[in-house]
């Protein structure tokens, strides 16, 4: 069988003070997954541990995201996390700070006939 995308959820998250890209990424993923209920897994009698979860995070400084920490926040499935350039940094020159805004796309794929 071939894994087919059955869900795509989008989210955004931020760290308004401190410039923590991982914190913003985790918040974006949590925003995305809290828009879904995977009731179809029970209906189709599919174990949640077998679903493939592909996470894409967009931030201005991808190298500053701890992908393993983002992955650890997802409760089910075989998870992959990819971090790309995207999102938004909003500098505060007066305070010497940056607000980090992250975007997340969480895709769930299932092996279906």
For every residue of 4-63, DSSP letters joined together read EEEEEEEEEEEESSS--HHHHHHHHHHHHHTT---HHHHHTT--GGG-EEEEEEEES-GG
Task: Check pLDDT > 90 for residue 84.
Answer: yes
Distances (CA, A) of 58 to 4, 11, 38, 89: 23, 11, 24, 11
Helix (H, G, I), strand (E, B) or coil at 80: strand
Nearest CA to 52 out of 104, 6, 10 is that of 6
Joined together, the tokens standing for residue 53 give 């979860």
* Model confidence pLDDT, tens digit, residues 1-24: 689 999 999 999 999 998 999 999
Higher pLDDT, 43 or 56: 56
Task: Give the span between the Cα atoms of 55 and 8, in whole angstroms.
Answer: 10
Rounded average pLDDT over 91-108: 94
Q: What is the pLDDT of residue 78?
A: 96
Task: Give the span between the Cα atoms of 95 and 34, in whole angstroms.
Answer: 33
Complete domains list, the chain, with CATH: 2-112 (3.30.1330.20)
Residue 90, φ and ψ in degrees, nearest 5 = -120, 100
Task: Check pLDDT > 70 for residue 57.
Answer: yes
């Amino acid at each position: 069988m071939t894994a087919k995308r059955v869900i795509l959820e989008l989210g955004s998250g931020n760290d308004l003070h401190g410039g923590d890209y991982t914190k913003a990424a985790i918040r974006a993923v949590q925003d995305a997954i809290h828009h879904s209920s995977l009731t179809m897994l029970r209906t189709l009698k599919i174990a949640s541990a077998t679903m493939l979860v592909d996470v894409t995070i967009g931030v201005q400084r991808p190298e500053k995201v701890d992908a393993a920490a983002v992955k650890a926040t997802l409760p089910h499935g075989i998870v992959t996390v990819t971090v790309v350039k995207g999102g938004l940094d909003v500098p505060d020159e007066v305070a010497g700070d940056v607000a980090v805004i992250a975007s997340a796309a969480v895709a769930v794929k299932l092996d279906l006939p």
